[in-house]
């Protein structure tokens, strides 16, 4: 997603509002078990000053994710900030800044970097997701099973010193 900054360069030191929208590639978040189901909308301001472009924006995208606890697909809206600096060259600037290329900045990398920072390490379909039963594999959000009670009872029986006698019969 290229953002033209020629107007900001022509009006150095003045904040310029902008809005832009684009599609993310479907596989860009595959390692996080997510895929975009809407365009990314970015709106904010940019200011060009002393060979720097300062960008302050909010981005929004809807993702289809796979719950890390139960494996259920769910949709989630993500809103995140993009507060980044762009420079004409890395010669005298921080290498963490992004580059300005021929009067444009490519927002793909900063957009993805900030989205990945916003995604939590565990994506859940709901805050209190119960996950899957470790015995029968059923989704505990949808089904009730007594596998854990049976497992606990078996553990109690094994801890009982007389269980060895019982097992000899």
Q: What is the pTM of this model?
A: 0.74
Four-point Cα dihedral 61, 85, 15, 104, nearest 10: -80
- CA neighbours within 13 Å on the CB side: how many for 33? 16
The strand pair at 73-87 and 98-101 is best described as parallel
Residue 146's pLDDT is what?
A: 84
The beta strands (E) that lie in 33-126 are given as: 34-36, 40-49, 52-66, 73-87, 98-101, 104-106
- As given in the structure block, the two tokens for residue 84 are 């980044």
Query: In whole angstroms, what is the distance from residue 169 CA to residue 164 CA?
Result: 9
Choose the most confident range, by mean pLDDT, from 73-77, 106-110, 114-118, 163-167: 73-77
Choose the most confident range, by mean pLDDT, from 20-29, 93-102, 159-168: 20-29
What one-character DSSP code corresponds to residue 25? Answer: P
pLDDT in tens, 53-87: 999 999 999 999 999 999 999 999 999 999 999 99
pLDDT in tens, 119-132: 888 899 999 999 99
């Amino acid at each position: 997603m290229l953002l033209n900054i020629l107007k900001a360069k022509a009006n150095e030191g003045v904040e310029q509002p902008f809005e832009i929208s684009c599609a993310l590639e479907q596989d860009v978040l595959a390692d996080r078990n997510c895929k975009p189901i809407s365009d990314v909308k970015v709106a904010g301001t940019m200011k060009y000053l002393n060979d720097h472009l300062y960008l302050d924006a909010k981005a929004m995208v809807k993702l289809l994710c796979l719950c890390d606890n139960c494996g259920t697909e769910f949709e989630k809206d993500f809103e995140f900030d993009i507060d980044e600096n762009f420079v004409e060259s890395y010669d005298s600037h921080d290498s963490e800044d992004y580059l300005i290329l021929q009067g444009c900045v490519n927002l793909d990398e900063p957009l993805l970097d900030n989205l990945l920072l916003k995604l939590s390490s565990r994506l859940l379909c709901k805050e209190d997701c119960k996950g899957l039963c470790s015995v029968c594999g059923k989704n505990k959000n949808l089904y009730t099973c007594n596998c854990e009670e049976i497992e606990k009872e078996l553990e109690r029986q094994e801890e009982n010193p007389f269980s060895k006698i019982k097992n000899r019969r």
